[in-house]
Amino acid sequence: MASRLNPYLNVLDGKAREALEFYQSVLGGSLNIMTFGDMGTEGPMATQVMHGQLETTAGYTLMVADAPPEMVKVTMGTNISVSLSGGPDDAEMLRGYFAGLAEGGRVNQPLEAAPWGDEFGMLVDKFGISWLMNIAAQG
């Protein structure tokens, strides 16, 4: 098996399950969620997501977890973005992803022709995660 680089997102306010289900509704694929309770934690944290993994049919793997403040310090900001890119054959799929991820979020740069000739857009989804989308021009 080859090594892979996968985004791993920490979500605030116990919303990891909601985020994973949202990403699945946009990107498709199969979802696997392990809670803190599955690992023996009791109390309010038991239902929070210790590890969630979305495997999409497009070959993307997205991992998401809750970030209990006593375990993980998360500062929301612009220090990371998830980037999805493809060629003209992927254009319809990527445009659909962009529209879906933008629901309830904020589009910073509409998905449109960019100076380098590709179609490019940027958004922040409703969970505070920044996304970049690039569709390569016909080459």
Among residues 103, 93, 95, the alpha carbon closest in space to that of 120 is found at: 95
**Shared domain check, 13 and 47:** yes
Q: Which domain holds residue 120?
A: 81-135
pLDDT means per 10 residues, the chain with 139 residues, are 79 92 98 94 92 94 88 70 92 96 97 94 93 89
Predicted local confidence at residue 88, as pLDDT: 94
**Whether residue 105 sits in one domain with residue 60:** no
Q: How many structural domains compose the chain? A: 2
Q: What is the pLDDT of residue 131?
A: 94
39 and 87 share one domain: no
Do 93 and 126 sit in the same domain of this protein? yes
Confirm whether 1 is domain-assigned.
no
Prediction pTM value: 0.85
Q: Using CA of residue 6, residue 66, residue 133, residue 83, what is the dihedral sign?
A: negative
pLDDT at 81: 84
Residue type, 76: M
Please answer whether residues 11 and 52 qualify as being in contact, where contact means their C-beta atoms are separated by less than 8 angstroms: no
